[in-house]
Chains A and B, each alone.
Chain A
Amino acid sequence: MRGSTNVGKRGLVRWSSKWWPGTIPLAVLWALAAWTSTAPLETELAARSTAALKDVLLDKSRIAVSGRDVTLAADAFSEDGRHNAIAAIEAVPGVRLVDDETRLVPEAKPFVWSAERDVVRVTLAGSSPLPASKTKLLEAARADLGGFEVVDQTGLARGAPPRFDEAALLLLGQVGKLKDGKITITDTKVSLAGMARDLGGREAIAAALKNLPEGFSVAANEIKAPPYIFQAYKDPVALTLTLTGNVPDSNARAALVATSGRKFFAEKVVDNLKTSLGAPSGFANAVTPALGALSRLSTGTLVVTDREVKLSGDALYDAAAAQLRANLTKDLPQGWQVKADISVKPAAAPVDATVCQQLLTEVLAKGKIRFESGRSNLDPDSAGLLDRLVETALRCPATNINVAGHTDADGDNNANQVLSEKRAQAVVDYLVKAGLPASRFTAIGYGSTQPVADNETDEGKARNRRIEFVVKEQP
């Protein structure tokens, strides 16, 4: 065995000196192989490298292959990402060298992202942390805004705060509630500006902001709401009070309609209100006295816009106009503005005692003068009715009027007597304050001595509690 091996070795050395002629066709083969295989090899390696990078997070990745050498240019989102990308390509079989032209995505400081809505489109701008979040946010915006044009101008950058995606998604959900405006995330601060699309939109956005992920805070919320408008129109011809506009909820609506029914004794209340969020604070406390003021006008319009109360119309007499101008501001909650544009209705022609009595009785048949229960203070709801009585009394200056108070039979007779006198006096005081001469009026209390209905039923008792006007020609 050993001998033959030695022979073989020696032979090989000798033979090998004669192997050279084969290198000529070998060179030809080599040239042909290089000529035909280079491009396919490069294509194959490029495909394999691309596949290897499938799970590595990169932006703008570009692979160039020259021979067996791969050049990778890309934006990575972390140092680890860069190393992983290079390692992944180095691991591709057949790759000889990897030329690393990757770089880190620039870091944004501060990290700003914004969504701006104008009339025609929503524009996303600023930075997104990863391509995945960029896509996710764009898709979410498209889904939320249903068909509205969304333009994505965001670039990629490092430095996003933790839970950025969650915060941005939540805020994108609010963009739909805006008519126009801009929502911006600057690091962990959120600022909002613009106009809500609907009443209540501002409140809905404010409520949603409470769910911002931990770490985020609202730096500025300057979302404005469209004006919150409530209107009431007193029509003396149709004898209607028309309520239009917004009220906070159905309870407030019922309360306002009920209160209007009491204040506007002769008018039918037409309720065209709708309920919506976003009422200014103190809405009910402002609208109630404003309606009271409107009830004292012959004809008039009340417009409540946000915190501004605009009352215009004709008062029934001079003193009423002055009182309305002076008192309305006082009656409204703090922070509310009043614009009163009140003129005085021209006085009607004078009438004689008989017609005067008839007119007063008619007015009192439509409505009752109310007092606080068991007391002699006039109910403010009766101001409209009292003004109407004043207006009528002004038309018959040549008469004297007895104002008679009556009570029901409940309780002590003496107490009822006193109460009826006091109530009659309260009415007289109102008339005098309205500018009528005190000498024309006499307050008389009858207690429960002159019932007009059965004192056994509630209805009868209510009819017995009354104020009557008796007109007499002046002697």
Chain B
Amino acid sequence: MIFLATFHWGWLLATLLLGFAMGWIAVVHRGHGVSKVVGRWLAALVAVLLAVALARVVPGRPGYWLDLGLMMLALYLIGCVIGSLLRDRVLPGPSSAG
């Protein structure tokens, strides 16, 4: 993992920043989010993909791409969490009051 992180640090940093930006925006975004049901399905899909990656059942390049995608997704989500929390702290809005 450390090797992969150091090897792909540029891409990972980019996803982290992307996540941060998305998280920052999400707090004040007025559009529709995904529904709970879809959200669960998506979570289940990610869980399955994670399980597949950990079980190392996908061979060769697709297996690598899966690992890479999951790592990027993880960093994206971390970025989102950080972005959302920071935005929430910096700009007290209706969400924080509620």
Interface residues of A (CB under 8 A from B): 7-8, 11-12, 14-23, 25-26, 29-30, 32-34, 37-38, 41, 44, 66-69, 93-94, 96-97
Contacts and interface: CB of A to CB of B under 8 A. Distances in A.
B22 A22 contact: yes
A18 B26 contact: yes
A66 B63 CA distance: 9
A8 B8 CA distance: 31
Interface of B: 2-4, 7-8, 11, 14-15, 18-19, 21-23, 25-27, 29, 31, 33-36, 39, 56, 59-65, 67-69, 72-73, 76-77, 80-81, 84-85, 88, 95-96
The 7 closest A-B pairs by CB, nearest first: A17-B33, A67-B64, A22-B22, A93-B3, A66-B60, A94-B3, A18-B26
A38 B64 contact: yes
Contacts of B27: 11, 15
B26 A15 contact: yes
Contacts of A33: 8, 11, 68, 72
A20 B33 contact: yes
Contact of B21 (A22, A29, A67): A22
Interface of B is mostly: helix
A442 to B, nearest CB: 121
Contacts of A93: 2-3
Contacts of B77: 19
Contacts of B15: 26, 29
B11 A22 contact: no
25 contacts: A11-B84, A11-B95, A12-B81, A15-B80, A19-B22, A22-B21, A22-B76, A26-B73, A26-B76, A30-B72, A33-B8, A33-B68, A34-B64, A34-B69, A37-B8, A66-B61, A67-B61, A68-B67, A69-B59, A69-B60, A69-B63, A94-B3, A94-B4, A96-B56, A97-B63
Nearest to B42: A20
Contacts of B63: 67-69, 96-97
A26 B80 CA distance: 12
B7 A37 contact: yes
A139 to B, nearest CB: 40
B68 A30 contact: yes
A410 B76 CA distance: 132
Given A18-B31, A20-B34, A41 B80 contact: no
Nearest to A94: B3
A18 B33 contact: yes
B23 A15 contact: yes
Contact of B7 (A26, A66, A94): A94
A15 B86 CA distance: 12
A154 to B, nearest CB: 37
A16 B26 contact: yes
Contacts of A66: 59-61
A97 B56 contact: yes
Contacts of A18: 25-26, 29, 31, 33
A26 B88 contact: no
The CB with the most chain A CB atoms within 10 A, among B22, B31, B35, is that of: B22
B52 to A, nearest CB: 13
B78 to A, nearest CB: 11
Given A12-B81, A12-B84, A19-B80, A68 B21 contact: no
Contacts of A7: 96
Contacts of B73: 23, 26
Contact of A34 (B22, B68, B80, B84): B68
Given A97-B59, A97-B63, 11 more contacts: A8-B85, A12-B84, A22-B19, A26-B18, A33-B11, A37-B8, A67-B59, A67-B61, A67-B62, A67-B63, A94-B3
Contacts of B81: 12
